[in-house]
Structure 1
Amino acid sequence: MKRTSTLALTAALLASSAPLGLATMGAGTAHAAARTYFVSPSGNDSNSGTSTQAPFRTLQKAADSVEPGDTVSIMNGTYSERSAGSNVLTIKRSGLPGAPITFTAHPGHHPVIHPVKAWNGISVSGASYISIKNLEVKGNNGALTLAGAERESKKGDPTYNTNCISLEQDRATGALSHHVEVAGNEVHGCAGGGISAIDSDHVTISGNHVHGTSWYAVYATSGISVLTPRDVGGGDAGTYKIRITGNRVHDNETKIKWEKCGCYSDGNGIIIDTLKGDADHPAYNGRVLVANNLSYDNGGSGIHSYKSQHVDIVHNTAYANGRSTRMDSYANIFAHDSTDVRLHNNIAYGRPGQATNSKSRNVDVTYDYNIYFGGKAPEVQGPNDVIADPKFAKTGTGADADFRLSEGSPAAGSGTPFAAVTTDFTGARRAVGTPDRGAYGFGAKNSSSPGNASDASSPGRQGDAPAGSGQSAGSDPAASPGVQAGDGTDGGSGLKPQSASGPLAETGGSNPALPLGIAAVVLAIGGGLLFAARRKRS
């Protein structure tokens, strides 16, 4: 088997868990000199950039000018790299707790970040306390062809390997990217990965629409991927530090062989990759939440954990993934070679002949309260798992597909409470006692966009990318939204035991009691907090 890759939060939990210290903004925090910089293709980098009448021309000029608490307001237009092999936007300046640096669309505008021969549309390189919101990152797939990629895609050339958004380590300084929020963006058409977080920590990826990526890269990328995260500020298995919530992810597929093995791999919707560590990376000790996502019609898996630990995959809907005919079908939602992973309250609707889940090399991995339909029989089935038609409003892989639950759905009112997830894909409150399974709560309003908290083979390991490329990597051919919790830096109490009763299906090893809920965490910092001195402004 080969390797398979916002919701509106309740006000109280949002205040207790904002990943960038956003809860402290407007709460008495001292930050007097925050500025907004404006960018427009009709601007000039010699302008002050501080008004819509005198905007900068390039995103990079703004990124090189910001200080903690500042906002880069991006106006209408298309933004591409200034030279081949560069990034359209490289973010290296950091914000501070309670004073993130925000890159967002100007109100009422719809700018497009369009990498053509860039390694990345947006690269967060060793920066912290960064928010990227409400932008469109559109790759160059429309101008590329599969035949061209099969002839020309290779390491060291960004043409067929461009990522849309990448969070990564600064290769020059060794600084790690952390406390980064990527929320409410449309990310599509990149030949490489959609949104990737490599060697990063305290990351929130929520409410994004990620589609049509990974087609032509030689690095076996995916729609959303988390690879070898690094603990920043310590970590424990009872505290969520990485959250992948409320995203719509589809049409991501690898169509080019991975350069490391000469085989096809990945093209997953969402993958959590190598948290157990390897020869080059220490094990990651924080917890990861993957909740309320819609993942469908991807080449690889819908959602899976590979060589990972301390992961909760709950209340997701996966439909007709594993579409690639170039490799053995990956399952819709599963864990492989993983430890301490819970897969609960999900709906997995498979293609004919598609694998449903996996028990391969798992220890303390539990499947329960899931609904399976189509595909092969599950390898492992929890006592409350159900094999039945979930009765979606309209199945399909097109724009009109509707994965809400119809009357009589076995998913309605049959799930188990999970304290970390109190709302659904649309932001509607979930029932307290017996929530609905899947990403949508029964009766949810139709929504093509997820709720956005910031606006209110065997599965394998991703391989190494060329230095300076910003690339995520591929997988090992030998192996085949949620509510935010404390971030581990503010004394958060972490998770409470999950409230479900009864045994859970195990896929190996023992099943000691492990923490699974959320306790309120106080992140807000009192008024009068002094920040590092800002550069003198004119």
Structure 2
Amino acid sequence: MKRTSTLALTAALLASSAPLGLATMGAGTAHAASRTYFVSPSGNDSNSGTSTQAPFRTLQKAADSVEPGDTVSIMNGTYSERSAGSNVLTIKRSGRAGAPITFTAHPGHRPVIHPVKAWNGIGVYGASYISIKNLEVKGNNGALTLAGAERESKKGDPTYNTNCISLERDRSTGALSHHVEVTGNEVHGCAGGGISAIDSDHVTISGNHVHGNSWYAVYGTSGISVLTPRDVGGGDAGTYKIRITGNRVHDNETKIKWEKCGCYSDGNGIIIDTLKGDADHPAYNGRVLVANNLSYDNGGSGIHSYKSQHVDIVHNTAYGNGRSTRMESYANIFAHDSTDVRLLNNIAYGRPGQATNSKSRNVDVTYDYNVYFGGKAPEVQGPNDVIADPKFAKAGTGADADFRLSEGSPAAGSGTPFAAVTTDFTGARRAVGTPDRGAYGFGAKSSDVPGSASDASSPGRQEDTPAGSGQSAGSDPATSPGGQAGDGTDGVSGLKPHSGSGPLAETGGSNPALPLGIAAVVLALGGGLLFVARRKRS
């Protein structure tokens, strides 16, 4: 993957980026779980598993026992794979709309899923309506070394290629994973990818802390990646089907050459990859939302779209990414070889000499209302972009880094309304009219990853709101009774996706300028385009 974005300034892009339909993912109304299975390292797989006094011993026994609507409640302890090359937990059984299967920490407990020589800590293979929440997945990087990886990391050996959480198709049946939520988890220390979704659809990755992954794999992995998603139940560019919101992502870096090219690649915080399709994958027609994320001190980019379409990268904060000295520095937040991508209301604080953004091979890619600081001059600068110190409370890459806005920040009260994002990283309501740029709203009370996600939604719940999204993530009009496309408002504030007073800058676009009055009419008529995407290699 490379960089991105060509920019041709247009007088008013509102016509081409006009009202984005805000229909949401999921379907049906959630019901109470029909049964709860308990798992403990002190249990026995011969037990019933239906009480804390008679729990199963292995996660796999529980996963092979569940039916739609069931919950797997995981008790304190460390869980590793039963044999080298297997997963700690393989999920193949599906829930259904309104009755997802949930895998979560037992209340008050903090279990650790610890893959050692597994391909995945958690692997979802062709399953649907699944919720993975409030778990810690801790890889084996602490026991590995770079010298060992340089000698021994290779294809076919999971030792140095373990992924923490991976959503994939079932290779034996071809079934795709869809309607999967990964929320409120700590995902760290895996030699391969952190959280990846490959050939999947209707995915929410929200409120997770993803750090210290991708160090030793021979595959081009990243902290969070969405790669070649597949449309399930159809797709249109006006409906978000993939959402990556409210995550803290840092210290992910590839330190081993990618076997496919014999070069160093990826190690990004968040990447949306190959949604335009290629020789082996059809184009993805849904929309992806990447919003309210903190991405810092990663080896590759903070956030970017690569060979993708229908992506909105909005209200994110990226700091000091592109740290890898093994490859040409990636920009903080950008699009490359992409179409119909909007990068709005972000803050990108670069390292010295780091690229700020890109205009390479982009068509209809919009950069505007962003704050840039540090690094090289932007290749593309929208009319409302600002180059200035964002005045973080405590910029840095350590555990005490605090990217909330200080008094006098140019990001405060200077953004453009975006109807799908009405809350900030902490879940606090954003100001109406001129929201703050970046992941945090000015005056945010906490710098932590939002909530435990114990109240986060399960797939299929109509009223659910993924962390930091501000947009209902419950039902698609194609699958939910009575569902209908949104009118371009968020249903609460009445804001339109773009209601700023000025034109937006576009890269590689050919759209003619449109008088603002006409654009307003177009917006008022509703309609929509909102899209989603992702990337990882493994």
Give the TM-score normalised by structure 1: 0.84
Pick closer, same or farther for the CA change 1:416–1:227 going to 2, 3 Å.
same
Q: Deviations over 1:307-341 (max 9, x none)?
A: 00000000000000000000010000000000000
Larger mean Cα displacement after TM superposition, 148-157 or 6-15: 6-15
SS in 1 for 2:421: coil
Distance 1:458 1:316 in 2: 24
Pick closer, same or farther for the CA change 1:209–1:33 going to 2, 3 Å.
closer
Distance 1:295 1:466 in 2: 18
The structural deviation recorded for 1:254 is 0.1
Q: Deviations over 1:366-420 (max 9, x none)?
A: 0000000000000000000000000000011000000000000000000000000
Pick closer, same or farther for the CA change 1:182–1:504 going to 2, 3 Å.
same
Distance 2:260 2:381 in 1: 35
Larger mean Cα displacement after TM superposition, 420-429 or 16-25: 16-25
Alpha carbons 1:19, 1:180 under 8 Å: kept: no
Alpha carbons 1:5, 1:268 under 8 Å: kept: no
The structural deviation recorded for 1:446 is 2.3
The structural deviation recorded for 1:510 is 2.0
Distance 2:383 2:166 in 1: 39
Which residue of 1 is the match for residue 314 of structure 2?
A: 314
SS in 2 for 1:13: coil
SS in 2 for 1:11: coil
Which residue of 1 is the match for residue 132 of structure 2?
A: 132
The structural deviation recorded for 1:437 is 0.2
Larger mean Cα displacement after TM superposition, 166-175 or 441-450: 441-450
Pick closer, same or farther for the CA change 1:121–1:431 going to 2, 3 Å.
same
Alpha carbons 1:68, 1:99 under 8 Å: kept: yes
Pick closer, same or farther for the CA change 1:458–1:537 going to 2, 3 Å.
closer
- Count residues with an aligned counterpart: 538
Distance 2:537 2:152 in 1: 48
Distance 1:152 1:354 in 2: 32
The structural deviation recorded for 1:450 is 2.5
Pick closer, same or farther for the CA change 1:33–1:394 going to 2, 3 Å.
closer
SS in 2 for 1:523: helix
Which residue of 1 is the match for residue 5 of structure 2?
A: 5
Alpha carbons 2:21, 2:526 under 8 Å: kept: no
Q: Deviations over 1:32-78 (max 9, x none)?
A: 87000000000000100000000000000000000000000000000
Which residue of 2 is the match for residue 181 of structure 1?
A: 181
Give the TM-score normalised by structure 2: 0.84
Alpha carbons 1:222, 1:267 under 8 Å: kept: yes
Distance 1:371 1:533 in 2: 23
The structural deviation recorded for 1:455 is 1.9
The structural deviation recorded for 1:506 is 1.4
Alpha carbons 1:265, 1:475 under 8 Å: kept: no
Pick closer, same or farther for the CA change 1:3–1:533 going to 2, 3 Å.
closer
SS in 1 for 2:16: helix
SS in 2 for 1:17: coil
Distance 1:374 1:351 in 2: 6
SS in 1 for 2:233: coil
Consecutive unaligned residues of structure 2, counting only runs of 5 or more, are: none
Distance 1:460 1:25 in 2: 8
SS in 2 for 1:61: helix
Alpha carbons 2:269, 2:298 under 8 Å: kept: yes
SS in 2 for 1:380: coil
Alpha carbons 1:209, 1:247 under 8 Å: kept: yes
Distance 2:119 2:95 in 1: 24
Larger mean Cα displacement after TM superposition, 454-463 or 25-34: 454-463
Alpha carbons 1:36, 1:72 under 8 Å: kept: yes
Alpha carbons 2:292, 2:316 under 8 Å: kept: yes
SS in 1 for 2:516: coil
The structural deviation recorded for 1:448 is 1.8
Which residue of 1 is the match for residue 101 of structure 2?
A: 101
Alpha carbons 2:339, 2:362 under 8 Å: kept: yes
Pick closer, same or farther for the CA change 1:358–1:414 going to 2, 3 Å.
same
Alpha carbons 2:3, 2:334 under 8 Å: kept: no
CA RMSD of superposed structures (Å): 11.0
The structural deviation recorded for 1:28 is 11
Distance 1:277 1:150 in 2: 32
Pick closer, same or farther for the CA change 1:521–1:283 going to 2, 3 Å.
farther
Distance 2:16 2:377 in 1: 41
Alpha carbons 1:30, 1:528 under 8 Å: kept: no
Distance 1:216 1:464 in 2: 37
Larger mean Cα displacement after TM superposition, 348-357 or 444-453: 444-453
SS in 1 for 2:522: coil
Q: Deviations over 1:454-473 (max 9, x none)?
A: 62599999999999999999
Pick closer, same or farther for the CA change 1:144–1:365 going to 2, 3 Å.
same
Alpha carbons 2:425, 2:468 under 8 Å: kept: no
Pick closer, same or farther for the CA change 1:306–1:220 going to 2, 3 Å.
same
Alpha carbons 1:2, 1:328 under 8 Å: kept: no
Pick closer, same or farther for the CA change 1:223–1:12 going to 2, 3 Å.
farther
Distance 1:335 1:208 in 2: 23
Pick closer, same or farther for the CA change 1:104–1:10 going to 2, 3 Å.
farther
Larger mean Cα displacement after TM superposition, 196-205 or 479-488: 479-488
The structural deviation recorded for 1:521 is 22
In the TM superposition, 1:17-56 aligns within 5 A as: 34-56=34-56
Please tell me whether residue 416 in structure 1 is matched to residue 423 in structure 2: no
Alpha carbons 2:104, 2:134 under 8 Å: kept: yes
Pick closer, same or farther for the CA change 1:293–1:37 going to 2, 3 Å.
same
Larger mean Cα displacement after TM superposition, 129-138 or 480-489: 480-489
Distance 1:340 1:249 in 2: 25
Alpha carbons 1:113, 1:137 under 8 Å: kept: yes
The structural deviation recorded for 1:509 is 2.3
Pick closer, same or farther for the CA change 1:304–1:281 going to 2, 3 Å.
same
**What percent identity do the matched residue pairs reach?**
95
Pick closer, same or farther for the CA change 1:183–1:485 going to 2, 3 Å.
farther
Pick closer, same or farther for the CA change 1:20–1:317 going to 2, 3 Å.
closer
Alpha carbons 1:17, 1:487 under 8 Å: kept: no
Pick closer, same or farther for the CA change 1:536–1:411 going to 2, 3 Å.
closer
SS in 2 for 1:521: helix
Larger mean Cα displacement after TM superposition, 481-490 or 26-35: 481-490
Alpha carbons 1:128, 1:179 under 8 Å: kept: yes
SS in 2 for 1:175: coil
Distance 1:391 1:474 in 2: 36
The structural deviation recorded for 1:447 is 2.5
In the TM superposition, 1:449-488 aligns within 5 A as: 449-451=449-451, 455=455
The structural deviation recorded for 1:504 is 1.4
Pick closer, same or farther for the CA change 1:413–1:28 going to 2, 3 Å.
closer
Consecutive unaligned residues of structure 1, counting only runs of 5 or more, are: none
Distance 2:145 2:475 in 1: 23
